């Protein structure tokens, strides 16, 4: 009976961090699907709440999620919940005793924590709240330092810090199971990283991207705009093998001006391999090449399990591709394959995304994921502007606001079918495969908005790009 119940009867309470709110659901869904489980929300599910109740999952499934998530703080086995403490008590009394007993034995030690969201509660009150749980059949000893089992009473006082109610809106009680990987955000902080650039991705977002991309051990992951490899560092941490390309010779070879304050030039050994080594993932390093993302240098075939990338938008890093002034069709007659010096030329944003989607459609394995950022001029944003591709299905699309008029959206797509020649031209035939066209002027709009406001806050926000 207990075994049969493990996936269906028990519920789990997920406690999430209240930042990157839009990124949380796609992350949890992706991580659950890695265990082959679907996310099934209960009837009270509220995406913006810090507490989610998961059903139809096993303890093992949620443990696997917690090994990866940077959005969730902890997970609990939910024993009872309600709008008031009376409702909680009632619900706890209805919870099957046989599910509690293994954790309340007399030879075990325990402790009870009280967590309040959006309210600070004094120690005295906390003790009182714990005392109301006396009716539970605890028979072990309390041990605050090193208990065998940890229980938690969680109270939600809503999300408005200016109007904090006397009593909580909702209360939960459960057994603590595991914490998420929020620590990674600090331990992988860009501040302490060996090699960084102007647009190195924030550690938390890098892990979120790797999770959205369902990157797992022994995958081969590729980033066509690799820069300093922040995204590869996150992917390698989850055990995948990584490779990348970038058009900027200086970045790939780790030379030139430093991006750090008070440091003029990059030091020796500032490269992506050294970054991976810093986090003990050097074995995951495949290769990083100087190459132009607009020219395909990969042979045909499904090579990559995931493509995770942050294309340049021309704000903090320029968008360049190789080419020549006249865009020659034929090589000159004396062409011997070595004398060609590439000239860099403008690379239009909409072309970047058309190329990226076609590349993903060609080189991802079936069910492999593409994760990338799309810059958006907010007043003009409509969901239809997200580029589509006949081989790729849109999985999620989450906004990170950069300023009052600009934002970037993290787009996740999954490959459905193998690429056929006609698919590569779909963007020319069907308007819906290329609606991003008008957004070539993102850069102009970005700066026009800047000039109008010229507020200091606006300027600070450009840092994120």
Partner 1 sequence: MKLITHNMLTSHVKGVTKGYPLLIKATEVQVSEVEFNPEFLSRMIPKLEWGVLVQAADSLGHLNDLPNELAPEHEKDEEFLRRVHRVLLEV
Size of the chain in residues = 465
Q: For residues 199 and 291, which CB has a smaller minimum distance to partner 1 in the complex?
A: 291
For residue 269, state whether it binds partner 1 (rule: CB under 8 A): no
Choose the stretch contacting partner 1; rule: CB under 8 A; options: 43-51, 98-106, 292-300, 408-416.
292-300
Size of the site for partner 1 (CB under 8 A): 26
String of contacts with partner 1 for each residue 159-198, x by CB under 8 A: ----------------------------------------
Q: Which residues contact 67 (CB under 8 A, 6 or more apart)?
A: 178, 181
Q: CB-side exposure of 207: number of CA atoms within 13 Å?
A: 26
Q: How many CB atoms are closer than 10 A to CB 447?
A: 13
Judged by CB under 8 A, which of 127, 297, 366, 425 binds partner 1? Answer: 297
* 237/283 Cα distance (integer angstroms): 11
For residue 298, state whether it binds partner 1 (rule: CB under 8 A): yes
CB of 331 to partner 1, least distance (A): 5
Cβ-contact 11, 42 below 8 angstroms: yes
Torsional class of 235: left (φ above 0), alpha (ψ -120 to 50), beta (otherwise)? alpha
Residue 390: strand, helix, or coil: coil
Residue 398: strand, helix, or coil: strand
Alpha carbon of 95 to those of 154, 169, 246: distances in Å?
A: 17, 21, 56
Q: What burial letters (b/e) apply to 25-56, b meaning 16+ CB within 10 Å?
A: bbbbbbbbebeebebeeeeeeeeebbbbbbeb
* 203/285 Cα distance (integer angstroms): 18
CA torsion, points 71, 74, 80, 81, in degrees to nearest 10? -40
Choose the stretch contacting partner 1; rule: CB under 8 A; options: 58-66, 308-316, 335-343, 371-379.
335-343
Choose the stretch contacting partner 1; rule: CB under 8 A; options: 104-112, 126-134, 261-269, 297-305.
297-305
Cβ-contact 442, 349 below 8 angstroms: yes
Judged by CB under 8 A, which of 243, 252, 276, 371 binds partner 1? Answer: 243
* 237/183 Cα distance (integer angstroms): 13
User: What is the sign, positive or negative, of the torsion defined by CA atoms of 231, 235, 237, 240?
Assistant: negative
Q: For residues 110 and 238, which CB has a smaller minimum distance to partner 1 in the complex?
A: 238
Choose the stretch contacting partner 1; rule: CB under 8 A; options: 201-209, 224-232, 286-294, 351-359.
286-294
For residue 326, state whether it binds partner 1 (rule: CB under 8 A): no
Q: For residues 66 and 233, which CB has a smaller minimum distance to partner 1 in the complex?
A: 233
Q: How many CB atoms are closer than 10 A to CB 209?
A: 27
Choose the stretch contacting partner 1; rule: CB under 8 A; options: 30-38, 49-57, 290-298, 436-444.
290-298
User: H-helix or E-strand containing 408?
Assistant: strand 406-415
Rounded to 5°, the CA angle 177-21-365 comes to: 80
Residue 221: strand, helix, or coil: strand
Q: How many CB atoms are closer than 10 A to CB 294?
A: 21
CB of 337 to partner 1, least distance (A): 7
Judged by CB under 8 A, which of 302, 318, 401, 407 binds partner 1? Answer: 302
Q: For residues 163 and 299, which CB has a smaller minimum distance to partner 1 in the complex?
A: 299
CB of 340 to partner 1, least distance (A): 7
Judged by CB under 8 A, which of 296, 344, 397, 407 binds partner 1? Answer: 296
Judged by CB under 8 A, which of 141, 186, 340, 430 binds partner 1? Answer: 340
For residue 301, state whether it binds partner 1 (rule: CB under 8 A): yes
Judged by CB under 8 A, which of 335, 430, 447, 448 binds partner 1? Answer: 335
* 147/74 Cα distance (integer angstroms): 17
Among 126, 259, 281, 158, which Cα is nearest to 215's? 281
For residue 253, state whether it binds partner 1 (rule: CB under 8 A): no
CB of 270 to partner 1, least distance (A): 19
Positions 82 through 141 that interact with partner 1 (CB under 8 A): none
CB of 419 to partner 1, least distance (A): 16
CB of 402 to partner 1, least distance (A): 33
Positions 193 through 232 that interact with partner 1 (CB under 8 A): 217-218, 220
Q: For residues 297 and 429, which CB has a smaller minimum distance to partner 1 in the complex?
A: 297
Q: How many CB atoms are closer than 10 A to CB 233?
A: 27
Judged by CB under 8 A, which of 287, 380, 384, 418 binds partner 1? Answer: 287
Choose the stretch contacting partner 1; rule: CB under 8 A; options: 74-82, 107-115, 174-182, 288-296.
288-296
Exposed / middle / buried, residue 397 (Cβ in 10 Å: 0-12, 13-18, 19+)? middle
Choose the stretch contacting partner 1; rule: CB under 8 A; options: 24-32, 95-103, 278-286, 437-445.
278-286
CB of 301 to partner 1, least distance (A): 7
Which residues form the interface with partner 1 (CB under 8 A)?
217-218, 220, 241, 243, 282-283, 286-287, 289, 292, 295-299, 301-303, 328-331, 335, 337, 340
């Amino acid at each position: 009976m207990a075994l049969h119940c493990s996936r269906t009867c028990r519920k789990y309470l997920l406690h999430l961090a209240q930042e990157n709110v839009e990124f949380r659901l796609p992350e949890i869904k992706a991580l659950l699907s890695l265990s082959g489980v679907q996310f099934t929300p209960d009837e009270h599910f509220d995406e913006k709440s810090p507490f989610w109740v998961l059903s139809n999952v096993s303890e093992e499934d949620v443990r696997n999620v917690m090994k990866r998530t940077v959005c969730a703080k902890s997970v609990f086995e939910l024993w009872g919940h309600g709008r008031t403490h009376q409702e909680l008590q009632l619900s706890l009394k209805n919870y099957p005793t046989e599910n509690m007993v293994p954790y309340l034995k007399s030879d075990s030690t325990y402790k009870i924590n009280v967590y309040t969201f959006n309210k600070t509660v004094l120690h005295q009150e906390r003790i009182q709240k714990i005392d109301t749980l006396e009716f539970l059949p605890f028979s072990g000893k309390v041990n605050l330092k090193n208990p065998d089992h940890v229980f938690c009473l969680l109270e939600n006082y809503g999300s408005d810090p200016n109007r904090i109610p006397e009593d909580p809106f909702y209360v939960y009680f459960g057994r603590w199971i595991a914490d998420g990987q929020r620590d990674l955000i600090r331990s992988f902080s860009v501040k302490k990283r060996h090699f960084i650039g102007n647009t190195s991705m924030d550690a938390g977002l890098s892990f979120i991207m790797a999770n959205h991309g369902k990157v797992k051990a022994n995958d081969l992951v590729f980033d066509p705009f690799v820069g300093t490899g922040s995204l590869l560092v996150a992917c390698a941490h989850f055990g995948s093998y990584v490779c990348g390309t970038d058009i900027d010779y200086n970045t790939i070879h780790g030379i030139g001006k430093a991006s750090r304050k008070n440091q003029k030039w990059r030091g020796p050994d500032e490269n992506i391999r050294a970054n991976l080594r810093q986090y003990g993932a050097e074995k995951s390093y495949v290769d990083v090449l100087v190459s132009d993302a607009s020219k395909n240098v990969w042979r045909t075939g499904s090579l990559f399990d995931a493509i995770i990338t942050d294309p340049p938008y021309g704000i903090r890093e320029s968008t360049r591709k190789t080419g020549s002034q006249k865009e020659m069709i034929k090589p000159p007659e004396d062409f011997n394959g070595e004398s060609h010096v590439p000239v860099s030329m403008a690379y239009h944003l909409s072309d970047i995304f058309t190329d990226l989607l076609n590349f993903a459609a060609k080189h991802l394995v079936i069910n492999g994921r593409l994760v990338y950022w799309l810059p958006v001029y907010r007043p003009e944003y409509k969901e239809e502007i997200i580029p589509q591709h006949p081989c790729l299905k849109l999985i999620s699309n989450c906004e990170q606001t950069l300023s009052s008029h600009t934002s970037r959206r993290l787009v996740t797509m999954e490959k459905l079918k193998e690429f056929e020649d006609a698919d590569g031209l779909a963007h020319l035939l069907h308007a819906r495969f290329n609606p991003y066209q008008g957004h070539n002027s993102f850069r102009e709009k970005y700066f026009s908005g800047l000039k109008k406001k010229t507020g200091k806050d606006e300027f600070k926000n450009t840092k994120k790009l």
